[in-house]
Amino acid sequence: MSGVPGGQDLQDGTRGERTVPQPTADVTVVMPAMNRAHLIGRALESIARQGVAPAEVVVVDDASTDGTADVAEAAGARVIRLEQNGGSGPARNLGVRAATTEWVAFLDSDDEWEPGHLEALLRRAGDHVLVCAPARTPAGRVVGNPWRRELPLDPLTLLAPGDVMCTSGTMVRRWALEEAGLFRPLRRVQDLDLWVRVLELGTGVALAEPSVVYHEHVSQAVNDKDLMRECFDRVVRSCAGRPWLTPRVHDGIYSRLHWDDMRAAQRSGDLRGALRHGAWLAGRPHAWPPLAKLLQQRRLSRAR
C-alpha cells in the first residue's frame, strides 16, 4: 500500500490514512529448510511482523520433496534450491555467502520470532560481533539464557556452564562468520562450534528476555543424545591449545556429562556406573562451580 498523507482528500472524495514505511535494517535472515511446507509459512510470517524489516530473507531449500520452496517464494523470500541434501550447516553457509548485509540473523523454519525481536537485537548490538535472545517453548521452558539479566558471552561461557544460546535467536556480523570459517561439517552442534570461533574474534551478549518461540517435536536432531555427545566432544577437542582451555576448565566442561551419566546410572540401577561418575566428580572439586551454575540454569529454564 502506498503512503497517503493522513487527513488529505483522495481523488474519489474519500479520506486516506497515512502509511508509515517500515524501516529496514542491514540484516539478512538465513533459514535452512527441508520438507517444511507445513511450517515455514509461520516462520516467515513472524519475520514479516517485525517492526524493523530485514533487508532480505534467504531460504535455503535443502532438497525438499514437498512445496517448501514454493511456500517460501510466495511469502517473498529469496530461495536457493539444492538438488542434494547437505544438512543445515552447509545450507546456512550458502545463505551467509549470499548475504551482502552487515548482519546475518538465523531463524529455523520450525521456530518463529515474536514481534520486536529484531529491534531488540539491533538495539543491543553495539560493537559486539554476536547478539542473541533466548527462546521460550509453548510449554514455557526457556531455551538459551534463563538468568533474567543480560549475560556477556565468550567461548568459555558457551562450554561451561553452556546452554546459554538459541540459534533461532542469534544475529552475527557477517565478517565474523566468514573469518571464523562458517559452519563446519559436524552432524550436530555445528552452531555451538561456530559460536565459539566467532566469540574468539570479539564480544557477544545474550539478552535477558525471550523473543523467540522454540517449537519442540520428536524429529528434532537434538533428540539424538549419543551423536550430540560425540560431536560436543569433537568441538571441545578442537579447542585444544587455546589459552582459555586449561586442564581445570576442561574438567569443568565435562562435569556436566559425568553428572548426567551418574544420574542416568542411578535411574537405571547401575550402581557401579553411578559410583564411577560420582568418583570422577568427587575428585575434581574445581569442576563443581560450573556444574552448580548449569544445574541452576536448568532449574531457571524450567521455572520461567
Say what angle helices 271-282 and 247-268 make with each other, to 10 degrees. Answer: 160
Report which of residues 78 and 2 the model is more confident about: 78
pLDDT, residue 187, reads: 86
Instruction: Work out the pLDDT band at 21, boundaries 50, 70, 90.
Output: low
pLDDT of residue 49: 96
> Which of 302, 290, 283 lies closest to 257 in space, CA to CA?
290
Residues 6 or more apart in contact with residue 52 via CB below 8 angstroms: 22, 23, 24, 25, 118, 119, 122
Chain segment 158-207, per-residue pLDDT in tens: 999 889 999 999 999 999 999 999 999 898 999 999 999 999 999 999 99
Cβ–Cβ under 8 Å, residues 52 and 25: yes
**Domains of the chain (ranges plus CATH)?**
24-221 (3.90.550.10), 246-303 (no CATH)
CB 33 within 8 A of CB 64: yes
Residues 6+ apart with CB under 8 A from 217: 110
Instruction: Label residue 220 by pLDDT band (50, 70, 90).
Output: low
Q: Tell me if the bond preceding 161 is cis, omega within 30° of 0.
A: yes
pLDDT band of 256, cuts 50, 70, 90: very high
Q: Which residues of 146-185 are buried (b: 16+ CB within 10 A; e: fewer)?
A: bbeeebebebbbbbbbbbbbbbbbbbbbbebbeebebbbe
The per-residue pLDDT for range 94-117, each reduced to its tens digit, is 999 999 999 999 999 999 999 999
Q: What is the per-residue pLDDT for 6?
A: 36
User: Among residues 236, 272, 235, 267, which one has the least CA distance to residue 251?
Assistant: 236
Handedness of CA 91, 94, 96, 101 (dihedral sign): negative
Query: In the predicted model, what is the mean pLDDT of residues 282-304?
Result: 93
What's the confidence (pLDDT) of residue 3? Answer: 30
Report pLDDT for 11: 43
pLDDT for 5 equals 31
- Please state the φ and ψ torsions of residue 33, each to the nearest 5 degrees: -155, 140
pLDDT per residue over 27-65, tens digit each? 999 999 999 999 999 999 999 999 999 999 999 999 999
* C-alpha R_g of the chain: 22
Is pLDDT of 71 > 80?
yes
**Is 77 in a helix, a strand, or coil?**
coil
